[in-house]
Amino acid sequence: MSRTDEQSGNGWLQSLRRKLVNRETVLYAVFGVLTSIENVLLFKGLLLLNLDYRIANILTLIVVKLTAYVCNKNFVFRSHCESFGALMAEVFRFVFWRGATALIDYFGLILLVELIHVPKVPGKIFVTVLVIIINYITGKKHVFRGKAAGEENG
């Protein structure tokens, strides 16, 4: 392989790395890990209080989705809405998309626990990882479309 071939190969890899590892994806990963820990610990805590796992999961999902909105809006995507209407549109998109993934989380856990007989907490962890990936894609593409804080017009 010639030096030019190596450099073009490295350029492609560096470009891919820049797309996958940047401020946004690193912050999403950090807050994703933190909200996932919140998700699993709250779920486990509610199970210890003898709540049915389905009720525990719904309560956990509500709390975690609220946390995720604040973190994603302010720290990850740094979305800034120019008007109250734009903010309400963003909140609606968030509720819609996170509601869709909450259904995946809720019914996915039931599927794993009741049909496949996976233990509750490992099942919750598995579904959470899947949902994190889907949430990043929908958050970036569909929810946080406003200007990033500090972004100039032009």
Domain count across the chain: 1
Instruction: Show the domain range for 83.
Output: 22-148
Query: Where does residue 59 rank: exposed (0-12), middle (13-18), buried (19+ CB within 10 A)?
Result: middle
Percent of the chain with pLDDT over 70: 88
| pLDDT computed for residue 32 by the predictor | 86
Q: How many helices (H) and strands (E) does the chain have?
A: 5, 2
| pLDDT computed for residue 147 by the predictor | 61
Residue 46 forms part of a structural domain: yes
Residue 85 forms part of a structural domain: yes
Residue 129 forms part of a structural domain: yes
Mean pLDDT, the chain cut into blocks of 10 residues (154 residues total): 55 77 88 90 96 95 92 90 92 92 94 97 93 89 72 44
Residue 103 forms part of a structural domain: yes
Residue 121 forms part of a structural domain: yes
Residue 108 forms part of a structural domain: yes
Residue 142 forms part of a structural domain: yes
Residue 11 forms part of a structural domain: no
| pLDDT computed for residue 152 by the predictor | 45
| pLDDT computed for residue 46 by the predictor | 97
- The tally of CA atoms less than 13 A away on the side-chain side of residue 57 is 21
| pLDDT computed for residue 19 by the predictor | 74
